[in-house]
Amino acid sequence: MARRLLHQGFVVHVHDIDLAKTEALKTLGAKVHGSAASLSEQARTVIVCVVDHKQVDQLLSPEGTPSWWSTLQSGDTVFLCPTLAPDYVEAVALRLQVLGVFTVDAPMSGGPVRAEAGTMSLMVACEDAVFVSQEKLLNTLSSHVFRIGTRVGDGARTKLVNNLLAGINLVGAAEVMALSEHLGLSLDTTLSVIEQSSGQSWIGSERMRRALVNDFEPRAHMTLLTKDTALAVDAAKTAGFQGVLGPLAAEAFAKACQAGLANADDAAMLQWVRQQQK
């Protein structure tokens, strides 16, 4: 996302615990900051891209240093782009509102390649006036900006629904590939049939194509969909909804992590399903 904005002529300030990433962005013209608080002194729009609520908490209240929001100014805007629980997003938005800071609930989908190309999806929930004021930035980041509504938290809800289906589809794709193997079928041919037939799903095709050639270089760690499916199931319970496949998919991801695949790409779900047949 930072590279995309730099290529499009935006002034970009960056901070990350991974100094190699910020140094690489510095060569492209980004202004590197040693802390999030230093960054938010300079940038009037702050985009938070971390893994989970624990990392957002570390930004809110880091030990021994000012929080990034202690240097925010009234009228600033904060984008929350991770996949987070809706009630957590709402709580952060309320804390920012006290400071006169606007929140854009904007979880993202599509991965780093689409982010740099500006073709990822953003599910945006915020006040109408805030949406209008940030429209240029949003359209630069994403050619698929979905205006979810004005209620902060609904972007998070939409993202959880999407990611739960992605998890269900991925577990299903891994299962049918393992089944095809047991039936003595060519996995490559079977996947080609599925890709042009009613069983097709983007995540199933993308992940299984890599899994079939044993390419498990992490692009999306198993822990991410483990977190997201668990959050989605929790949100369903809170809403009084008892799903059928969602809890099973969440359980599969949790067990895959417990089996030692937490740091593997989530394409390794095929490996875990294969292990269940032994």
Does 70 have pLDDT greater than 90? Answer: no
CA–CA dist 78, 157 (Å, integer): 18
Does 66 have pLDDT greater than 70? Answer: yes
CB 153 within 8 Å of CB 105: yes
Angle at 50 between CA 49 and CA 54, to 5 degrees: 140
Mean pLDDT over each residue of the chain, to the nearest integer: 95
Does 12 have pLDDT greater than 70? Answer: yes
Question: pLDDT tens digit string along 182-229?
Answer: 999 999 999 999 999 999 999 999 999 999 999 998 888 999 999 999
Tell me which of 50-64, 114-128, 134-148 is least confident. Answer: 50-64
Query: Which pLDDT score is estimated for 62?
Result: 65
- Band (148; pLDDT cuts 50, 70, 90): very high
Interstrand relation of 102-105 and 77-80 (parallel, antiparallel or unpaired): parallel
Query: Which pLDDT score is estimated for 67?
Result: 75
Question: What is the sign, positive or negative, of the torsion defined by CA atoms of 258, 259, 264, 266?
Answer: negative
Query: Which pLDDT score is estimated for 60?
Result: 76
DSSP result, 235-266:
HHHHTT---SHHHHHHHHHHHHIIIIITTSBG
Q: Which domains does the chain have, with CATH numbers?
A: 2-151 (3.40.50.720), 157-275 (1.10.1040.10)
Query: Which pLDDT score is estimated for 132?
Result: 98
Query: Which pLDDT score is estimated for 111?
Result: 84
Q: For residue 80, what are its two tokens?
A: 């929350």
Q: Report the first-to-last Cα separation within the chain, whole angstroms.
A: 42
Query: Which pLDDT score is estimated for 63?
Result: 65
Give mean pLDDT, residues 102-123. 94
Query: Which pLDDT score is estimated for 42?
Result: 93
Q: Which of 146, 134, 57 is nearest to 107 (CA)?
A: 146
